[in-house]
Structure 1
Amino acid sequence: MHRRPPGSSLTAVRDLYREVARGATARPLVAASWQRSIEHDVKPGRLEAPYTENLNLDSPLTRAALPVLNALHEQLADDPVSTMITDRNGVVLTRRVSHDGLTTRLNSVQLAPGHVFSERYVGTNGIGTALASGHSVTIAGAEHYAEALRAFHCAAVPILHPIRRTLLGAFNLTTTRQESGGMLMALARSVAGQIEAEIAALASRRERALFQDYMEACSSVRPGAVLALNRDVVMMNEQLSAAVTGPDLYTLLDCAREVADDLRFEGTRTLALPSGRVAELRVSRSRREESDAGAVFRVRLAGRPQREPAPAAGGTRPGLGLVGTSEPWRRSVGDAEAALLSGAWLHLAGEAGVGKGTLVKALHRRHAAGAPLATLEPPPSEAPSAVEPWLRDLGDLLDRPSDVIVLRDVHLLSDRLRRRLRDALASRDRSATGQLIMTSQPSMVAPDDPLEDLCDVSVEVPPLRRRPGDIEQLVRFFLLKYRPSGESSCSSEALATLQGCPWPGNVRQLESVIRDLARRPSGRIIRAEHLPPECRVSSHKALTAIEALERDAILRGLLNRNSNVQRTAQDLGISRATIYRKMRRYGIVPSSLA
């Protein structure tokens, strides 16, 4: 049974279905899509297709599709038919139109590259419904949910990866002609099949390129352990397969896959393995024919024996009491746990509020509860009267080999004090000292940080925005913490809103929001309208790391200044016109923050 959509009566829903049907029985696929559109609260009379500037035109999908679309474009000549490719989120990546009149009409409804045509924003349409249903669809005329689209006839086909069978995007044909839906669909399926075949051919060429680079690495003068992989292929030489097995191998492969997916990364990555050893991965990209075929890793193993067995690959030991199952979180916990068990000096980097302190306490409680845990804050000033006792205290703590010492917020130390700390610690005999754990915020540290090489292992604790799958578990955990009776719950709409927030304060901010909501005097179900203003950021644009930091700074400033835009602009050192422009870009609505 469908729930009543927000702001709609059952009569209004029936009227919408009647409009779809036009006197006939609506197709089940269209009726289901209209119901989803109503639940997304899409307005039929107002077309709002969000726009993103950061299109990924160097993906296997676009590289495979463009030659096919160009050939089809020549065949269609001056026919009023448009061909489009979208990604799996409904973002139009490329469009071909050979008829000026149709170009104008498509632009008038924002059906152009960069705009998002998923059902969540536009309602029932060829692109969005094909992606939402996973089936080939034709959406003709009045079957469109948005009134502005009802002059168009569309046929869309999902495009799947030929090997993994995962959804890559969709191919869409749009016309204004009252043509046979069957003919449009036959053409759309044929083109989608050609694109999938080209993706398969590209994958084969990528595998050959990766294999060639792998063989060159293996045949070098001193090859050592070599690994090569992309999303479809894994290759390793005999030295690696003999040296790394079991949980160590699974952890190594997980890390290598993550690195291979980051097309910009080249250099060295250090990884703590479950056995207690440390793996150093020297990474080089396999680039042939102006495309990325994967990555080749030269692996060097080092380390000392662990005190007890480490956790299974990619996961954490039971009993840690930590919430979250997302891959970035599990990997950071597993790497930190392996480092603690091996006795390595550990650097935990992460934004404020991500849970670095919680992670350290959980690992200590589980694995080193018998050893004292000491925490040292940065000195209150740079005066010798504060610095010298602070350095002596740290030295005294490290002189006890059984202790675990947490040096918090080292990003707050001045360059001068960082150099003094490095000189004091670098000369120490690690076998006769306590285990040191440093924590810092990565954005606060310069690239030439004097403390960079002081620790054996560096682990990044991911921000909450990179763990959207963990938000539901965290919400339930905090609700139970602040309402032990278990009588509170969170509606699906509220949860979706929470999962879409940037969370500049990370887990600490989410806990504060849920604590305040759980303490409301009445109401057991948290609904979207109950959420505070800080959860109401409506940007759907893909942001770079710098843009995300800028958005979060503006959001924090507005919250601290009670939504006073002018005072926030003054605090940030920018003009009022600039902050308004950036707020529009990042979807920060002043009225929702009041």
Structure 2
Amino acid sequence: MAKSSSALAIRTAREAFIGGEDAVFDAVRRPILDSWKRSKAWQVDADRLELRFVREPNLESPFARAALPVTSHLVEDLAGQSVGVILATADGMVLDRTRDGAMSTAFDTLGIETGYSCAEEFVGTNAVGAALESREPVTVQGSEHYVENLSSVSCVGVPIVHPISGSLLGALDLTCPVADSRPLLSALAQSTVRSIESRILEGATVRERALFEVYQRTCRRTTKGVLAVGGDVVLANTYVQKELSKHDQAVLVGHAVDLLVSSIVQPLTVRVPSGRSFRLVPTDAGIAGSGAVVFTVAAHEPKTEPALAAVAPPKLPGVAGSSTSWRRSCAEVVSLVRTGRWVLVEGEAGVGRGHLLGVAATENLPGRGPTMIAVTEYDDHHRLLADVLAATDSDEFRLVLRDLDALDPAVAEGLSVLLEERRASGWVGGTVGAFGGTAPSSLLEIFERVVPVTALRHRIGDLDQLVPHLLAQLTQGSGPILSVEAAAQFARYGWPGNVAQLRRILSQVVHKQRSGTISVDALPAECRAVTRRRLTQIEALQRDAIVASLHDNAGDKKAAAAALGISRATIYRRFRQFGIS
């Protein structure tokens, strides 16, 4: 009787909650009420269960290879009992489920099938979705489900976590009819998850184990932050998690991964979106194999010179962006240019390094705008030196040299001597790749300051100003606008080619559509990612490499796979995984 009364109270509370009534929900457990609130925020239909197809399951993933043998044994042990098993990935996608017995029929009726998502945003309160959201074991009884169709079953969900990285891998769900619900199901689910996590640990690579050991050793030896990156593993200690917001952490990890893949693992100062700066310093501890690094992390407040401290927010015509990191880079460049100091701007290709220098010099130095020389456009170094000599053969000359890290060391040496002789007569700005590129030190030393410009993927909020700014440039101010859906698509994309790629894509769009609203369907294939989850930093780099290879090979998937050194089967699997269309 007590159990029946409790179920009635839950059902009454659920109906009041969904109806928007101002009621007291004391009868509802906190985890369930929190899940109801998330479900309502997702605008889940409480009267109709509608799972959404996400993608074909990848049964060859490390997670699947570790978990499926365990869940298969569990299904065999439960044969003849009214308990169904669901294994889901971190985004709620059903990887596998019970195929025989009464619960298999129930799953069929409910539409629970592999490739479809049980995430709360689609299904509302359920054990899989709630466990993934809370990262805690969750039991959902009958009417505690948000959608009415699920009120006939009770479920236990347990998150599955990588034993080394702590990253969320998926969830295990045990489902039974409400009448057969029993406390032992939770213990069984948790015991099964421990077995899965043990298999994952056994399958960890030598590099992952070594990375974890060095990470732990570094944490014991320092009071600073510790960040470890390698393969699909990212580890951060309490200092990093407390000192940096989630957004700042993502940017810091992004820079660490960028250092890792660039093979130039050296100390780096990173300015995060909140405006603070942190120093990433690789440890000396060796890690077996390559592609894994442990960094110490500490707040870094660079000494500000009077000229920089007093500068007002710069007004630069033709330059757009509102992020803290972008505005600070602009302010530093403007302050240095105003005082006639030679400045080097570093960053990835396409971020707007040369454009920023050119506009800053035009707006803040007397006379005409600077001469722009891209060293990559010269096959003959004698002609390059001759053009530089001509550009500096006057008093108060202004010169911007782009892509200096592309120069041969001998040519760079000659250029540095030439420019040093002309230092008193004018101003020079230069650009190099991220982390200083590979420019010879003799050339870098002629510049008095280095200013970094952050990649677009680390300041995605700048799209709000960049997109309308570029559309106005491309159409003389009378062109189309971006739809809300297309803007959201742009925000999810990784922009490996930075602002230059954004401009090229918008140019392609306005070539076909000169007015109206730009829909997602009007966007080029390279930026139409449809994955519903946020990619990890490693996955984002993999996606960027595939998109870049597709672009370089004119969309030929076979050629793109060959260029990346992977099979066609792998690249097609990555298409589905990353939502590349």
After TM superposition, the structure 1 = structure 2 runs for residues 373-452 of structure 1, keeping only pairs within 5 Å, are: 373-378=370-375, 382-383=379-380, 387-398=381-392, 402-410=396-404, 413=407, 415=408, 418-425=409-416, 429=420, 432=424, 434-440=426-432, 449=438, 451=440
Point out where structure 1 has 5 or more consecutive residues left out of the alignment. Answer: 1-20, 58-65, 67-76, 161-166, 192-204, 216-226, 236-252, 560-564
Distance in 2 separating the partners of 1:378 and 1:44 = 57
Distance in 2 separating the partners of 1:214 and 1:207 = 11
Q: 2:490 aligns with which of 484, 488, 498?
A: 498
- Which residue identity lines up with residue 575 of structure 2 in the other structure? Y
- Which residue identity lines up with residue 443 of structure 2 in the other structure? L
Q: SS state of the match for residue 438, structure 1? A: strand
Question: 1:163-214 deviations in whole A, cap 9, x for unaligned?
Answer: xxxx9898765333536889699989999xxxxxxxxxxxxx9999668634
CA contact (8 A) 2:132 2:171 kept: no
In the alignment, structure 1 residue 269 sits paired with structure 2 residue 267: yes
Give 2:31's aligned residue: none
In the alignment, structure 1 residue 548 sits paired with structure 2 residue 544: yes
Give 1:474's aligned residue: 466
TM-score, normalisation: structure 1: 0.54
Distance in 2 separating the partners of 1:467 and 1:175 = 43
Q: 1:213 aligns with which of 196, 217, 221?
A: 221
In the alignment, structure 1 residue 138 sits paired with structure 2 residue 144: no
Distance in 1 separating the partners of 2:563 and 2:531 = 21
Q: 1:458 to 1:569 in 2, by over 3 A?
A: farther
Distance in 2 separating the partners of 1:130 and 1:36 = 17
In the alignment, structure 1 residue 284 sits paired with structure 2 residue 288: no
TM-score, normalisation: structure 2: 0.55
- Which residue identity lines up with residue 176 of structure 1 in the other structure? C
- Which residue identity lines up with residue 543 of structure 1 in the other structure? E
In the alignment, structure 1 residue 349 sits paired with structure 2 residue 332: no
Distance in 2 separating the partners of 1:486 and 1:137 = 56
Q: 1:455 to 1:279 in 2, by over 3 A?
A: farther
- Which residue identity lines up with residue 48 of structure 1 in the other structure? V
**Aligned pair count?**
482
- Which residue identity lines up with residue 140 of structure 2 in the other structure? T
Identity of aligned residues (%): 19
Distance in 1 separating the partners of 2:531 and 2:346 = 30
Shift of 1:405: 2.0
Q: 2:574 aligns with which of 585, 589, 592?
A: 585
Q: SS state of the match for residue 176, structure 1? A: strand
Give 1:48's aligned residue: 54
Q: SS state of the match for residue 406, structure 1? A: strand
- Which residue identity lines up with residue 554 of structure 1 in the other structure? L
Q: 1:286 to 1:381 in 2, by over 3 A?
A: closer
Distance in 1 separating the partners of 2:552 and 2:466 = 22
CA contact (8 A) 1:123 1:146 kept: no
| Greater mean deviation of Cα atoms: 368-377 or 477-486 | 477-486
CA contact (8 A) 1:131 1:169 kept: no
Q: 1:552 to 1:391 in 2, by over 3 A?
A: same
Distance in 2 separating the partners of 1:214 and 1:32 = 39
Q: 1:172 to 1:152 in 2, by over 3 A?
A: farther
Q: 1:284 to 1:272 in 2, by over 3 A?
A: closer
Shift of 1:484: 8.0
Q: 1:209 to 1:495 in 2, by over 3 A?
A: same
Q: SS state of the match for residue 308, structure 2? A: coil
CA RMSD, Structure 1 to Structure 2 (Å): 6.9
Question: 1:19-72 deviations in whole A, cap 9, x for unaligned?
Answer: xx9xx9596366974894879xx9947643566899999xxxxxxxx9xxxxxx
Q: 1:419 to 1:188 in 2, by over 3 A?
A: farther
Distance in 2 separating the partners of 1:522 and 1:395 = 46
Shift of 1:495: 2.0
Give 1:250's aligned residue: none
Q: 2:316 aligns with which of 320, 323, 347?
A: 320
Distance in 1 separating the partners of 2:60 and 2:429 = 38
Q: 1:574 to 1:296 in 2, by over 3 A?
A: closer
CA contact (8 A) 1:326 1:467 kept: yes
Shift of 1:425: 0.8
Distance in 2 separating the partners of 1:272 and 1:256 = 7
Distance in 1 separating the partners of 2:521 and 2:49 = 18
Give 1:511's aligned residue: 503
Give 1:224's aligned residue: none
Shift of 1:406: 1.4
Distance in 1 separating the partners of 2:442 and 2:549 = 30
Q: 1:533 to 1:329 in 2, by over 3 A?
A: same
